[in-house]
Every structure is written in C-alpha cells, then in structure tokens.
C-alpha cells in the first residue's frame, strides 16, 4: 500500500516565511561556484543489493535494529540518495491498546520540529499507512552507549565527562525550549560515526511553557523506573529536574557499569525508599572525588536541593580540561538560517530532484520533517563524506610521493656512501664496528622499554578486573546480530527497562 506523508501539524508553531528576501538570497546562492556532484548519484546496484522486506514511501525497509513495547526500529535505505537511515515503526493496533500511547503518538515529531541540536537525533520524515506510523531518522553509525559499556565493563572518567557534557548540553537545550524528556537512559543515548552522543526517543516527552519550567506541573508516571526520579515514583507533581536525576543515573552507570539503585525482587516502593535513604551502590575507589561529588549532586533525592541542568553545567568537575570552553558558555542555534545551507546540495535538489529553492529554504529553516528535509540532510552527509574521502586520498597520494622522494634521496646517499667507502677502505671497518653495537643497543633499549611499559600495564588491568567486586548491572538490548559485536559481559537487572508508563 503506498504510504502517505503525515503532516506534523505544527503550522501554528512555525512562523510563515515570506518570499521577500528569498529571491535575493537565491540569486546570490546560484551565483556561487558550486562543486560538481557526480558522487551524489545512486548506483542501481546499491538499491538491488540492499536486503529489504518492503518499500514505504521513498524508503526500503530492511532488518530490525531494536524493538520495544509498541515500536521497533528498522534499518532503511533512502532511495533517491542511497543513504541509510533508521526507521521507527509504530504498530497502530498495539498503540490503540494504550490510550496514553495513542494520545501522544504524534507528539514526538512535533517535539522534534521544535528543537535542533548536534546531540539530538534528527527526525527526517514521517509517513503513515493504514497499520503503521513511520519515523525516518538519521542512522547513528557508532552504535549505542550500552554496547560500549558492556564491552569495557565501565568507561574511563575522561570519556564519561565528554559524554556527560554532551548530554547536559542537549538536555539544557530541551529545557530552554520548554521540553522535558522524561525517558533519559543509557539505551536512549546513541553514538554517531565521530563517537558523539545523540539522544533519541521523545515518545514520552512533554512540553511546558518556558516561564513555567521552574514549577512542578507534570504528574504522569512514565519512563524506566531504574532511571526515574523519586518524586516521579512517589506520584508527586514534578518538573524538569527529573531529567537531571536521569542524567545522574546514566553517569553513574558509565562510571561503574552498574545502576545506583536496584531492588530484587523488583518493587517500586522499595526502590523509591532506597533512593530517598541514599542507599546507593558502591563506587570504585579509583573514581576521582570530583566525579563522585558531581554524580551524587545529580542524584539528590530532594528536587529542591538538586541542581538544575544549567547549574550542573557550571560545576568544576564537568569543565576540567575544558578551560577555554566552559560548558555553560556554549550555545547552539535552534534553527538553520539560509546562509547556513550548502549551495551545492541546494543546486542538486533544484536541478535534479525538482524542488523549488524557496520551498527548500522554508522547510529547512522551519525544521519541518518532510521529504525535502530528508533529502537535504542525507545529501549533505553524502557530500561531506565524499569530500573527506577525496581529501584523505589526496593526502595519501601526497604521502606516497613524499615517501618516493625520500627513497630516491636515500638511494642517492647510499650510492655516494659506497663510493666514499671504496675510496676510504680503512674507515669502513671502524665505521661498521662502531655502528653495529649502537644499533643493537637501540633495539635492546627499545625492547626493554616496551617490556617495562607494557607488562605493568597488563598487570594493572588484570588486577583491576580481578579486584572489581561483582554488582548489579544494566540491561542489554539486542543491537546487532553480529557475533563479533557480542559484549563480553551481559548486563541484567530485575527492573523492566522497557516499561513506558505504569499505574502503581
């Protein structure tokens, strides 16, 4: 059945962009020198070779990446660009069984249109059929944070700081625009190809008026209990600081490989009591005092004493090593401007795909998920990747020529050296006698240094693994069926991580 595009229904939220000024900008843009774009054409073989079960709109729907209660995430291929995407498929029949999910099924794309941030996944397009609702999003090639923790058991403090900075930056951006996520957890933090965080799954998010963000106005019990703040578990009204608590739980999981609060057998009242009493799981002794103090401040059970995201961004630990870039001083534009758009991609879309320039500009500057937005972002990704490949190839070619020149120079020197040695036979013997022991000593010193640096390192790692006490751990979600990507240690705990909303 052909898929029909779903209008996000946010026309009232997006200022109508007039055509005044666009024509002038269009003229200047078309006058620029544009790059040739032969690499943007899609080989037919690529479409034939992509394993898929069906086609929906402009997408081939392939294998399943992940699965939840009401939705599953599939790998997809955008036909007109040949770029891979992630497609969230919501089963309408199952969604109708839960009035809350049904009511808020289309809230997610509305929220995506409201925000734009480098650490929040981009929603490209929405589609709808008789039985399903589809959301095409950028594919995060780096996998998810859960897999990384599973593979390494726990993350280094420096890496935890980097990820937490990115998460706080995105959450502060959400709160600034009146959005509370309410389902922040390790499973909802994906990684792009550059190892940067991308927050996903806004299905439980809600909006508040910006001026009301300091008030506790929400009351729905939702999300995953293990990451939910105590005020949310206690059926009290709550505000955006529930997200701060969830960031604290996630940071604790990165630092330790475990959850801070667990109860077996699982019981929400007992879990809540542990949170209120501060009965937190043990933290490895090698974690710095600054990191411990910071994560415990986020896990403050009293929301009145818990810092806001903005206050957390000003703390000392989160800014260590970033003296020139304190987190609270960084800001991100919430909308693309016409001058931000890539003229080469715009030219391709107007000349090859047949879109009007004014329509493209209005869609992108209003951040509206649509076929135009999908085409632009995917083409831009493809162009950037192609340009990086060309630069890398040119650099390699330059290095090859440089190496060839060095080899030629060495050959010439060797020839001159041989000639000189033939002319001075008495010096040849002494030269060999003096150079050989030096070379042998350098190799011995190098091997000795390598043994001194490597052996203690291996020993330290072994001792660290052996001395680390066993403890409750995180749930592992099936991200890849490849045997090579199977984590060395499975993460399990009794709390249902897929729990969306409960009435306890």
DSSP state, residue 318: G
Determine contact, residues 127/56, Cβ cutoff 8 Å: yes
Between CA 42 and CA 215 the distance in angstroms is 51
Is residue 276 within 8 A of residue 215, CB to CB? The reply is: no
In angstroms and rounded to an integer, the radius of gyration of the C-alpha atoms of the chain is: 28
Classify 274 as helix, strand or coil: helix
Q: Report the distance separating Cα 282 and Cα 274, nearest Å.
A: 13
User: CB neighbours of 367 closer than 8 A, spacing ≥ 6?
Assistant: 14, 112, 113, 114, 115, 116, 335, 336, 373
- Distance, CA of 64 to CA of 78 (rounded, Å): 16
Tokens of 197: 């965080």
CA distances from 155 to 137, 244, 300, 340, 487 (A): 27, 20, 23, 36, 14
For 32, phi then psi, to 5°, come to -75, 160
Check if 445 is active-site: no
Burial string for 11-31 (b: 16+ CB within 10 Å, else e) reads: eeebeeeeeeebeebbeebee
> Structure tokens of 180?
């509370």
CA distance 377 to 83: 10
Q: What angle do CA 123, 127, 129 make, to 5 degrees?
A: 150
Given 144, 183, 201, 243, which residue is catalytic?
Answer: 183
The enclosing H or E element of 64 equals strand 59-67
Residue whose token pair is 């050959």: 411
Nearest-angstrom CA–CA distance, 484 and 498: 25
Closest CA to 199 of 174, 220, 175, 224: 174
Phi-psi region of 21 (alpha: psi -120 to 50; beta: other; left: phi over 0): left
DSSP secondary structure code for residue 493 in this structure: -
Q: Catalogue the active-site residues.
A: 183
């Amino acid at each position: 059945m052909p898929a029909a595009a779903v209008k996000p229904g946010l026309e009232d939220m997006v200022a109508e962009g007039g055509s005044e000024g666009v024509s002038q900008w269009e003229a200047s843009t078309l006058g620029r020198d544009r790059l040739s774009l032969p690499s943007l054409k899609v080989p037919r073989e690529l479409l034939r070779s992509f394993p898929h079960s069906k086609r929906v709109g402009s997408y081939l729907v392939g294998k399943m990446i992940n699965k939840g209660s009401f939705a599953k995430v599939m790998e997809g291929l955008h036909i007109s660009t040949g770029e891979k995407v992630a497609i969230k498929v919501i089963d309408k029949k199952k969604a109708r069984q839960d009035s809350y999910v049904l009511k808020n099924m289309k809230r997610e794309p509305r929220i995506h249109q409201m925000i734009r941030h480098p650490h929040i996944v981009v929603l490209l397009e929405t589609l709808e059929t008789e039985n399903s609702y589809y959301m095409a999003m950028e594919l995060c090639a780096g996998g998810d944070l859960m897999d990384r923790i599973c593979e390494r058991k726990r993350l280094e403090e420096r890496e935890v700081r980097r990820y937490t900075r990115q998460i706080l930056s995105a959450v502060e951006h959400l709160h600034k625009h009146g959005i509370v996520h309410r389902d922040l957890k390790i499973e909802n933090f994906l990684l792009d190809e550059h190892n940067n965080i991308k927050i996903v799954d806004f299905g439980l998010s809600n909006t508040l008026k910006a001026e009301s963000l300091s008030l506790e106005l929400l009351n729905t019990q939702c999300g995953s209990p293990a990451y939910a703040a105590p005020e949310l578990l206690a059926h009290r009204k709550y505000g955006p600081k529930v997200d701060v608590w969830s960031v604290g739980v996630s940071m604790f999981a990165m630092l330790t490989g475990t959850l801070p609060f667990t109860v077996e057998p699982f019981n929400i009242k007992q879990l809540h009591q542990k949170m209120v009493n501060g009965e937190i799981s043990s933290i490895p002794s090698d974690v710095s005092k600054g990191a411990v103090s910071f994560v415990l401040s986020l896990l403050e059970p009293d929301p009145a004493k818990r810092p806001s995201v903005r206050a957390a961004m000003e703390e000392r630990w989160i800014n260590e090593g970033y003296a020139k870039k304190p987190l609270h001083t960084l800001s991100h534009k919430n909308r693309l401007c016409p001058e931000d758009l890539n003229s080469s991609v715009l030219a391709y879309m107007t000349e090859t795909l047949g879109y009007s320039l004014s329509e493209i500009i209005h869609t992108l500057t209003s951040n509206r998920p649509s076929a135009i937005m999908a085409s632009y972002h995917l083409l831009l990704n493809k162009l950037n990747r192609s340009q990086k490949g060309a630069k890398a190839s040119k650099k390699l070619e330059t290095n090859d020529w440089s190496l060839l020149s060095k080899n030629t120079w060495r050959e010439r020197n060797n020839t001159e050296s041989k000639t000189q040695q033939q002319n001075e036979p008495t010096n040849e013997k002494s030269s060999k006698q003096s150079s050989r022991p030096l070379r042998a000593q350098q190799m011995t010193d190098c091997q000795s240094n390598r043994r001194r640096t490597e052996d203690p390192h291996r020993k330290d790692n072994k001792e660290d693994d052996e001395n680390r006490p066993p403890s409750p751990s995180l749930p592992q979600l099936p991200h890849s069926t490849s045997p090579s990507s199977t984590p060395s240690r499975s993460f399990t705990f009794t709390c249902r991580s897929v729990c969306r909303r409960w009435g306890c």
